[in-house]
Structure 1
């Protein structure tokens, strides 16, 4: 795991993850909001982060995007990746608790990656909290795991890879890719 002491504790926490939830703006994106002259919204997502979410799903880990902003762009990206999108969420903790309950997962088996104050409450209740390298300092100092990469630039993939490694999935992913009939990773990553 990255940038934090007590790696055995981190590995243990990551090995229990059955649900991984992610903030969007500042975590899956660089945090900038772009509007066109007609009021349309655009966001940029890093393909490596999308691939990380696909790999988590293939390893049997539920994935959800949880954002306070209403966003059809996020809903579209989530649909492309086959993950759940919760947009326009006022209380992220209550949302994550509901997702976990529906999936039959305890909060100790949940990971949440966020970057700013609206994410803090949920981060402090789950089994594994994470943040991008450029998260607000108050979040950065409280996260269990910290990426070396900034939000929207591979931080989510770095986290997904760490969870997959802790759970022993990396070799099976590599083996499946090198097989005579390799697994398809998906074109929407």
Structure 2
């Protein structure tokens, strides 16, 4: 990620996107292609491995500490995703056949409207939920269908800081980013 001050990163973000980010109370993330680079690796025993970037994880924790609900939503089976989510203290929904339906259920359970929900996705399975999200975001390397459904695209690629960019956008829009960077806590 660039080394310039965090606020400068968002100077070019359209006002309409900042307004959407100010309303976010729930941030949901697809996993493969957003919080990872999308590569699927299997060992000789058939066990799947994924690589998560620590910066993205820190962003998810910052959101959680700011009182914003955070969830991972993936169509793939769990294990690795559930472990990473547990490490970060957030929810994970795995083997989800219909992401839009699952996220709508989560919004209802939290008494949060879709306009107060952000969703980051990168491919066809994410488009349905992106279309109802108050803030739909795609990583720089997202497939065209997801990029077209997004209100905003990150500069970083999936698994390489895209998740952190969304987290910081939300915190910046809600005027909580400077505090979280100054002392490691979010006000």
Q: TM-score, normalised by structure 2?
A: 0.91
Alignment of 1:66-145 (within 5 A): 66-145=73-152
Q: Find the partner of 2:33 among 20, 26, 30.
A: 26
Report the counterpart of residue 180 of structure 1 in structure 2.
Answer: none
Q: How many angstroms apart in 2 are the aligned matches of 1:128 and 1:3?
A: 18
Please state whether the residue corresponding to 1:152 is helix, strand or coil.
Answer: coil
Is residue 36 from structure 1 mapped to residue 36 from structure 2 by the alignment?
no
User: Structure 1, residues 30-71: CA drift from partner, whole Å, max 9, x if none?
Assistant: 001011110111000000000000000011100000000012
After superposition, give the CA deviation of every residue in 1:101-137 in whole Å (9 maximum; x if it has no partner): 1111011000000000000000001100001000001
In 1, Cα distance between the equivalents of 2:104 and 2:11?
Answer: 27
Aligned-residue RMSD, C-alpha:
1.7
Question: What does residue 163 of structure 2 align with?
Answer: 156
Q: d(CA) in 1 for partners of 2:182 and 2:166?
A: 21
Paired residue for 2:6?
none
Please report how far the alpha carbon of residue 176 of structure 1 lies from its aligned counterpart in structure 2 after TM superposition.
3.4
- Count of residue pairs the alignment pairs up: 178
Q: Is the 8 A contact 1:53 1:81 kept in 2?
A: yes
Residue number in structure 2 paired with 1:55: 62
Q: Quick check: 1:25–1:31 contact (8 Å CA) kept in 2?
A: yes
After superposition, give the CA deviation of every residue in 1:67-93 in whole Å (9 maximum; x if it has no partner): 000120000000000000000000000
Confirm or deny: 8 A CA contact 1:108 1:127 kept in the other structure: yes
Q: Aligned partners of 2:173, 2:130: CA distance in 1, in Å?
A: 20
Structure 2 CA distance, aligned partners of 1:147 and 1:174? 20
* Structure 1 moving runs of 4+ over 3 Å: 1-5, 174-177
What secondary structure sits across from 1:124 in the alignment? helix
Q: What secondary structure does 1:99 align onto?
A: helix
